[in-house]
Structure 1
Amino acid sequence: MEENRQFPGWHGTTIVAVRKDDEVAVVGDGQVSLGQTVIKGSARKVRRISPGGYDTVCGFAGSTADAFTLLERLEKKLESAPGQLQRAAVDLAKDWRTDKYLRNLEAMLIVTDGSDLFVITGAGDVLEPENDIAAIGSGGNFALAAARGMYDTDQDAESIATKALEIASEICVYTNGNATVEKISKHK
């Protein structure tokens, strides 16, 4: 019988992205957990990459080494298709699902170029979130609910995403309030 492993991407971080008024804010917590032990509280799980001169913001949940491998692959895809995030994301998801090495990687990504916003999974999914909000990780559902509740206020994308992460950190033991924020504007 196959061992029933629980995907570690759901245990150990919270990433939330909010798109509002031609800007996307991606916010991630800084907690790294090993089982029930906090190993580090100030990790950067949200990063900006600029392949081909086109800025892209990425947030990741799951195994850090696996996520870095995927971010490197995404960067290469974007270098071969500059400014085409959707194409690069779909190509990465195909590789992730079919490549013998990549299919064992356990992570999830949120990626945005300011115009497009996607969640990429190892199941081959490239998902455009509804309501201009995406969230992944152990506190993702809490952050998603909080961000949706604040979206129709006069707050900007960064304020909503930051407050949503703060709320998630008060509920999820695998999430802390040490936020990394990256903002990116819609390409004109």
Structure 2
Amino acid sequence: DGQATLGNTVMKGNVRKVRRLYHDRVIAGFAGGTADAFTLFELFERKLELHQGHLVKAAVELAKDWRTDRMLRKLEALLAVADENASLIITGNGDVVQPENDLIAIGSGGPYAQAAARALLENTELGARDIVEKSLGIAGDICIYTNQFHTIEELASKA
């Protein structure tokens, strides 16, 4: 979604929380503090360059730095990153998680979107984009910190 809140007030409704990195081969999104997330995007992009686009290695290296660096530890955001091989969530606790089915969702509406996506994935023949659109719509209908402004990025299929 594109909602930025300060406490219980909507500050902006069209924030672009998803971007393409490393020659458009990686998609990264964030939840949490915007300034913190942009700092993490920059650091993650450097890790991707250093490791020639190897997503998992870059994610693990960022998580290690984020966990051990005194200044980085104060950053309050989550990153969701994906390439054609993996989808990961990176946290400031040093976690790099690849959820089942590579189905990732973060932020206030994340659990609603993930539950909806899982139900649609397991019970319909919908394609990935349709599942994402419907799941984000459901999350926006339920969660007061999630809106209906969606930025959807797609990676080329391996097939």
Q: TM-score, normalised by structure 2?
A: 0.95
- 8 A contact 2:86–2:102 mirrored in 1: no
Which aligned runs of 4 or more in structure 1 are off by greater than 6 angstroms? none
Equivalent residue, structure 2, for 1:113: 83
Identity %: 54
Q: TM-score, normalised by structure 1?
A: 0.81
User: Per chain length, whose mean CA-contact separation is higher, i.e. which structure has more relative contact order (CA < 8 Å, sep 6+)?
Assistant: 1
Equivalent residue, structure 2, for 1:68: 38
Point out the structure with the larger strand share: 1
Q: Aligned runs of 1:29-178 on 2, under 5 Å?
A: 29-50=1-22, 53=23, 55-152=25-122, 153-178=124-149
- 8 A contact 1:113–1:186 mirrored in 2: no
Which stretches in structure 2 are left out of the alignment for 5+ residues? none
Number of residue equivalences: 158
- 8 A contact 1:115–1:186 mirrored in 2: no
Describe the superposition over 1:45-64 as per-residue Cα deviations: whole angstroms up to 9, x where unpaired.
011112xx362100100000
- Which whole-Å CA distance do the structure 1 matches of 2:102 and 2:60 have between them? 19
- Which whole-Å CA distance do the structure 2 matches of 1:39 and 1:69 have between them? 20
Could you say what secondary structure the match of 1:184 adopts?
coil
Query: 1:114 offset after TM fit, Å?
Result: 1.9
- 8 A contact 1:115–1:185 mirrored in 2: no
Point out the structure with the larger helix share: 2
Which stretches in structure 1 are left out of the alignment for 5+ residues? 1-28
Query: 1:185 offset after TM fit, Å?
Result: 2.2
- Which whole-Å CA distance do the structure 2 matches of 1:185 and 1:169 have between them? 26
Could you say what secondary structure the match of 1:111 adopts?
strand
- Which whole-Å CA distance do the structure 2 matches of 1:187 and 1:150 have between them? 22
Q: Which amino acid in the other structure matches residue 35 of structure 1?
A: G
Query: 1:83 offset after TM fit, Å?
Result: 2.5
Could you say what secondary structure the match of 1:175 adopts?
coil
- Which whole-Å CA distance do the structure 2 matches of 1:138 and 1:31 have between them? 10
Q: CA RMSD in A?
A: 1.3
- Which whole-Å CA distance do the structure 2 matches of 1:187 and 1:160 have between them? 18
Could you say what secondary structure the match of 1:108 adopts?
strand
Residues 172 and 126 of structure 1: CA distance in aligned 2, closer, same or farther (over 3 Å): same
